[in-house]
Amino acid sequence: MKFKKLTAVLLSAVTLASAPSLPMIRETVHHSAIIAEAADTIIARFPQNGLSYQAYKDSSGATSAAVTDYSADLTSATVPATVTYNSKTYPVKRIKAYAFWGSKIKTVSFSSSDLTIESTAFAYTSQLTTVTANTSVKNLTINEKAFYQSGIQNFNCYAKNCDIYGNAFADSKLNLFQFRSNVQTANLFNSAFAETKKLTKVKFDNSGIKLTLGNKAFERSSIRDLSIPSSVTTIPESCFNECTNLVNLSLPDTLTTIKRYAFQNAVLPDKMYFPAKTTDISYCAFNGVRNVSAYYVDSANTKYQSIDGVLYTKDGSALCAYPAKKNGSYFESDVKSIWYGAITNNPYLKTLKLQNFSLTRPDDTNFGNNSNLETVVIKSTESNKTGQEILNLYGSFCIGSKVKTINGFSFLKNTSAGQEPKFEDKFESRILENFENYSDYSFMKDYIDKMATYVVNKETNSSMTKLQKAVRLQQWICDRVFYDPVVGKINILKRKNQPIPSNLSETDKNHVDASVFLHKKSDGKYYTVCDGYARAYKILMDKAGIPTDYVMGYNRTTGVLEHAWNLVNLDGTWYHVDVTNDDNNGSLFYEQYSDNMVPDSAVYPFKTYGGRYKYFLCSDADFAANDVHYHYEWESREHPELNSRNGAALDSSLAMRGDLNGNRQFYDDPNNGMTDLEILQQYLLGNYSLNYETWKKADIDKDGKVNSYDLVLLRQFRNQFDLYSPATARYILLEY
């Protein structure tokens, strides 16, 4: 019989995120902490029926045995009540940590009178499906993570008394745990079934079972069917927190107390019934609850009542829970207080009128995640507060994302199509100070949409080509913003592996859609980073009707996504546009500093470095040639199918039109002895041949022909090259 070999290597820490290889992990033993308690002495080691045991003697002289290992080919095991070795019989009381770690065992049964399954005893047993604790078991203890990431699906417990500790079945495939009719007591301690994400049902065959629930007992499990026995009087804190499948739940008539967060963010039955004895429901008990269409309370309950499916205190002064599935767009109440999270996740509610309700703290309540809530009216005296006071009270968590008015005050001023949108004076300072916190809110989305309309209407017109619009909208962004100098300095220091001072830190204001429009610093200038440039360009181009994607590029050295730009579709062809690196007033070219120290003068803008159209309408090959560490592999956040184009040149006829000698310049600079103009002249004279790619670049007017008209146009451009930089010359060429 071949057992897995145990060595005396001490395991000081075990990482349970993924199962390490068995030959390494299971060769390790905790001699002082796991194999034996301090007073125990190992008196024998022996194999029997496919299992390996150790026999112990404690300080009182009593002996017992523990399962420590298994036969490599074992697929089914029965842990007996006793084992005999050298004519000595030992009661089996423990299954040691790692005893079955990663084994191929499929079924296990226990017969010991008193048995403790230690932490990780069955961890990573991926083929394990069924475990049974037989009727001979009087006391069964299942310790933390005993079945961690195991394949167990069903646990049949006949043990008279059963204790289950934290995360015992975390990330396992346990679907059903059944306490059979002879089970008299069960203690589900803190987090007992927490993170058991396949668990849908816990069944109690004995209706008289004495059950104790601990905090977070079922937290983030997939429990669906549960009838809580009558012995339970309290549902403890966070017991069913984030249980998003609990659609069949029955509360016992004996229930008196529901602690805070007991059902937070849970999906509960369509109708919830509270018995007469449930008189102590904690604040926040139903924060964020979903799926309920109505709450009902026994008429004999002295503390709570239900009116039209809404849960109130008996005196009607407080609203405890508003059903997330309650139909109706309008709700009015004269309650004086609302429990935190009581009105959330309702997709029907549009208007909320609470004439006697007055906020006193930002965390008083929460009207979040009501996806269509637009209007909030609270106590009339609140109208006298300033906009900053109201927003301070509501905070970023207390108004729904679609709320447009509070007490009749709109967040945005009424402006005409030709005017730049503005926030109401009452709210403006607060919003501008914290605009990054309102990204998902309706009024902020309205502002961005109106701002995009304003910019596109102001900067473009119907007579312009898509190309001209693309150029003009890029220019608007570059004219408006600077690259954030704080981030620029941080990037320089990172590139040089220098420490970053504590006074330099990134801000979320650079990483939201409104960044280019609203990130204004004390110097009166607008700032952003590549993320903001790319977001704004996409917003404006989409508004102009030009398909545009937001993409992120990987750092060539680290492989981390660190830079953002856009892909633009003109006439069916996708091109790269990196507004950040084309912005003369704020460039990423901080690589030019080669000294070991970053001087104070390393402040943007770099007004003359690079060129405004070097990174405009580029093919993959163009981007590789322009590489600034990030332009070699990317992810498109809009059209993932574009990822397949990485490394393959896109059609570059537009971006490089007129560059016939391939030197990436648009003035009379020879390459291999010939200028662009000379190549075209010789081609028209029949003295020079063009391949297809170069021929497309020679078709300056894009009429499908290469002729004297193209030569005239190229010569006209040549006459202007002495007056403009290569970047500006390229712009002239593109504008044609």
CA 228 to chain centre: 33
Token pair of 120 as six digits:
């990780």
427 neighbors 409 (Cβ within 8 angstroms): yes
Dump strand ranges (E) for 355-483.
375-377, 405-406, 409-410, 481-483
- For 686-736, the pLDDT digits (tens) are 889 988 878 877 887 777 889 888 888 777 665 544 433 344 444 444 444
Q: How many CA atoms lie within 13 A of 663 on its CB side?
A: 16
What span, in angstroms and rounded, lies between the C-alpha atoms of 266 and 260? 13
Token pair of 149 as six digits:
């990431």
What span, in angstroms and rounded, lies between the C-alpha atoms of 7 and 10? 9
Weakest mean pLDDT among 29-38, 90-99, 101-110: 29-38
656 pLDDT band, cuts 50/70/90, is low
Q: Of 451, 469, 452, whose CA–CA distance to 460 is shortest?
A: 469
Token pair of 41 as six digits:
């002495």
Q: What are phi and psi of 152, to 5 degrees?
A: -50, 135
Residues 100-121, mean pLDDT to the nearest whole number: 96
507 vs 240, which has greater pLDDT? 240
644 pLDDT band, cuts 50/70/90, is very low
61: pLDDT strictly greater than 80: yes
| CB burial of residue 269 (10 Å; 0-12, 13-18, 19+) | middle
368: pLDDT strictly greater than 70: no
258 neighbors 315 (Cβ within 8 angstroms): no
User: What is the chain's percent helix, strand, coil content, to nearest 5?
Assistant: 20, 25, 55
Residues 157-180, mean pLDDT to the nearest whole number: 97
Weakest mean pLDDT among 34-48, 363-377, 590-604: 590-604
Residue 41 per-residue DSSP state = E
What span, in angstroms and rounded, lies between the C-alpha atoms of 518 and 432? 7
Question: Would you put residue 726 in left (φ > 0), alpha (ψ -120 to 50) or beta?
Answer: alpha
380: pLDDT strictly greater than 90: no
655: pLDDT strictly greater than 50: no
Residues 662-666, mean pLDDT to the nearest whole number: 60
642 pLDDT band, cuts 50/70/90, is very low
What span, in angstroms and rounded, lies between the C-alpha atoms of 340 and 366? 6
pLDDT of residue 587: 44
378 neighbors 351 (Cβ within 8 angstroms): no
543 vs 626, which has greater pLDDT? 543
Helix or strand (DSSP H, E) at 717: helix 708-720
pLDDT of residue 418: 82
Place of tokens 């220098």: 498
176 neighbors 198 (Cβ within 8 angstroms): no
Write the CA distances from 518 to 56, 215, 427, 438, 514, integer angstroms. 72, 45, 14, 12, 6
556 vs 76, which has greater pLDDT? 76
605 pLDDT band, cuts 50/70/90, is very low
Write the CA distances from 286 to 259, 329, 342, 399, integer angstroms. 10, 21, 7, 18
What span, in angstroms and rounded, lies between the C-alpha atoms of 152 and 147? 8
CA 160 to chain centre: 44
Helix or strand (DSSP H, E) at 219: none
667: pLDDT strictly greater than 80: no
Highest mean pLDDT among 176-180, 283-287, 667-671, 695-699: 176-180
425: pLDDT strictly greater than 60: yes
pLDDT of residue 198: 96
Q: How many CA atoms lie within 13 A of 623 on its CB side?
A: 29
pLDDT of residue 618: 75
Q: How many CA atoms lie within 13 A of 563 on its CB side?
A: 25
515 neighbors 537 (Cβ within 8 angstroms): no
- Percent over 90 (pLDDT), the chain: 45
Weakest mean pLDDT among 89-98, 268-277, 295-304, 702-711: 702-711
676: pLDDT strictly greater than 80: yes
pLDDT of residue 584: 53
Residues 361-365, mean pLDDT to the nearest whole number: 48
Instruction: Name the 3-class secondary structure at 569.
Output: strand
Residues 5-34, mean pLDDT to the nearest whole number: 35
685: pLDDT strictly greater than 50: yes
Q: How, if at all, do strands 114-117 and 88-95 pair?
A: parallel
648 vs 398, which has greater pLDDT? 398
Weakest mean pLDDT among 92-106, 266-280, 346-360, 456-470: 346-360
| CB burial of residue 278 (10 Å; 0-12, 13-18, 19+) | buried
Token pair of 232 as six digits:
């339970």
Q: How, if at all, do strands 51-57 and 63-70 pair?
A: antiparallel
In DSSP notation, 591-611 reads: GG--SSS--TT--S--TTSS-
Q: Of 407, 445, 439, 441, whose CA–CA distance to 426 is shortest?
A: 407
554: pLDDT strictly greater than 60: yes
pLDDT of residue 692: 82
∠ at Cα 496 (495, 497), nearest 5°?
95
Q: Of 283, 289, 244, whose CA–CA distance to 263 is shortest?
A: 289
- Percent over 70 (pLDDT), the chain: 75
pLDDT of residue 149: 96
What span, in angstroms and rounded, lies between the C-alpha atoms of 654 and 278? 73
How many CB atoms neighbour CB 326 within 10 A? 18
pLDDT of residue 468: 85
287: pLDDT strictly greater than 90: no
Q: How many CA atoms lie within 13 A of 665 on its CB side?
A: 17
Token pair of 285 as six digits:
């008990």
Residues 630-638, mean pLDDT to the nearest whole number: 58
What span, in angstroms and rounded, lies between the C-alpha atoms of 493 and 211? 59
The residue type at 345: N
Residues 311-330, mean pLDDT to the nearest whole number: 92
138 neighbors 114 (Cβ within 8 angstroms): yes
pLDDT of residue 610: 38
Helix or strand (DSSP H, E) at 703: none
pLDDT of residue 558: 67
- Cβ contacts of 382 within 8 Å, gap of 6 or more: 358, 359, 390, 407
Q: Of 147, 29, 133, whose CA–CA distance to 79 is shortest?
A: 133
Token pair of 495 as six digits:
């590139």
- For 464-506, the pLDDT digits (tens) are 888 889 989 998 998 899 888 888 778 777 777 888 888 888 8
pLDDT of residue 466: 86
Domains belonging to the chain, first-starting first, are 327-458 (no CATH), 460-655 (no CATH), 656-736 (1.10.1330.10)
- For 537-547, the pLDDT digits (tens) are 999 999 999 99
pLDDT of residue 703: 76
